């Protein structure tokens, strides 16, 4: 992946580059207040990973990634409530989460247990410090729209992580939602789970779209905990149906996972509505 492609990714993924001159001075100031410290934290924790990781067989990289996620979420004043950690089995598995916002990886990095590997766009791997850490820590680069050979290589990389008994985090929609609605799930991670005989753990993120949707440049100026609360619900593991042929088992596992995420998102939304409608005591 060339430097040009990485620059193009930054321009299309970060709202500030799309909005450009449309931003007011207040919005620019808030952007600087949020993202300059974030950049400093990224450089700092990545430096810890890069220097200590190779000396500790990756343990320092795992620790630094967790601390980066937690400190970055705190620095952005994002409150996280996670439930269902007891549902996560030991060994290799796929965390399959919906994808609402650019900050999702921070939230999941802080909330999910274990040393999971993230399926990250290859362009992210070329970002200084952050990308260097991702490569060192063994995260999986993913190319979009590169044809069948690239898709096969990604599936094989996923399967390798699972056979090494490591958790793998994927966003099976492939990209962030543009309208807040859950998109169709792609097959790659589910195929790897079927081939490796490993479970999929559905994960429902609720609150990041309203906090920072695709077109927003920052997480907003509200100081209300209710406006800045994100919930992470970890569902029960779903295992491949071994009575089906591989192709059918992949479709079955994919559809069951998406249905579980849909149900958890509906539950989270209902809980939020009840909380908003209940007057304080």
Query: What is the structure's pLDDT at 281?
Result: 42
Query: What is the structure's pLDDT at 145?
Result: 63
C-alpha distances in Å from residue 273, one per residue of 106, 213, 259:
25, 20, 21
Which residue has better confidence, 19 or 250? 250
195 pLDDT band, cuts 50/70/90, is very high
- Convert the pLDDT of each residue in 210-259 to its tens digit: 999 888 888 988 989 999 999 999 999 999 999 999 999 999 999 999 99
Q: Which 3 state secondary structure label does DSSP give 234? A: strand
pLDDT at residue 130 greater than cutoff 70: yes
Query: What is the structure's pLDDT at 18?
Result: 53
Query: What residues contact residue 90 under an 8 Å CB cut-off, 6+ apart?
Result: none
201-213 b/e (C-beta count within 10 Å ≥ 16 → b): bbbbbbbbbbbbb
C-alpha distances in Å from residue 137, one per residue of 46, 102, 220:
10, 21, 32
- Convert the pLDDT of each residue in 240-249 to its tens digit: 999 999 999 9
Q: What is the mean pLDDT of residues 132-161?
A: 83
The whole domain housing 102 covers 3-277
Q: How many domains does the chain have?
A: 1
Characterise 58 by phi-psi region: left (phi > 0), alpha (psi -120 to 50), beta (else): left
Query: What is the structure's pLDDT at 263?
Result: 97
Structure tokens that stand for 11 in this block: 């321009």
Long-range contacts of 263-271 (CB under 8 A, 24+ apart): 264/202, 264/204, 264/233, 264/235, 265/98, 265/182, 265/204, 265/206, 267/233, 268/204, 268/206, 268/231, 268/233, 269/206
The domain that contains 24 carries what CATH number? 3.40.1130
Query: What is the structure's pLDDT at 202?
Result: 98
Query: What is the structure's pLDDT at 180?
Result: 93
Q: What is the mean pLDDT of the chain?
A: 87
pLDDT at residue 71 greater than cutoff 90: yes
Are residues 143 and 59 in contact, defined by beta-carbon separation less than 8 angstroms?
Answer: no
DSSP character for 90? S
Rounded Cα distance between 93 and 200, Å, is: 6
Q: Which of 117, 101, 99, 100 is nearest to 109 (CA)?
A: 117
Q: Which of 217, 177, 209 is nearest to 18 (CA)?
A: 217
pTM for the model stands at 0.87
């Amino acid at each position: 992946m060339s430097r040009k492609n990485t620059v193009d990714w930054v321009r299309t993924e970060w709202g500030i580059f799309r909005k450009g001159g449309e931003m007011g001075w207040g919005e620019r100031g808030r952007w600087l207040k949020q993202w300059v410290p974030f950049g400093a934290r990224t450089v700092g924790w990545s430096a810890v990973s890069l220097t200590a990781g190779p000396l500790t067989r990756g343990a320092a990289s795992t620790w630094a990634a967790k601390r980066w996620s937690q400190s970055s979420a705190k620095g952005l004043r994002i409150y996280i409530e996670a439930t269902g950690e007891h549902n996560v089995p030991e060994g290799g598995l796929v965390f399959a989460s919906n994808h609402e916002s650019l900050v999702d990886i921070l939230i999941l990095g802080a909330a999910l247990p274990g040393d999971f590997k993230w399926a990250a766009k290859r362009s992210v791997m070329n970002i200084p410090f952050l990308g260097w850490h991702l490569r060192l820590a063994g995260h999986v680069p993913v190319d979009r729209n590169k044809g069948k050979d690239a898709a096969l290589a990604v599936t094989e990389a996923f399967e390798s992580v699972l056979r090494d008994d490591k958790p793998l985090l994927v966003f099976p929609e492939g990209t962030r939602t543009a309208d807040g609605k859950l998109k169709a799930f792609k097959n790659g991670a589910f195929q790897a789970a079927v081939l490796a005989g490993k479970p999929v753990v559905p994960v429902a993120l609720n609150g990041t779209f309203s906090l920072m949707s695709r077109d927003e440049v920052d997480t907003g100026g509200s100081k209300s905990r209710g406006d800045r609360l994100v919930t992470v619900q970890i569902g029960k593991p779903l295992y491949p149906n071994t009575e089906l042929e591989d192709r059918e088992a992949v479709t079955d596992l994919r559809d069951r996972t998406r249905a579980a995420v849909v149900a958890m998102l509906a539950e989270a939304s209902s809980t939020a509505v009840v909380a908003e409608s209940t007057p304080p005591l």
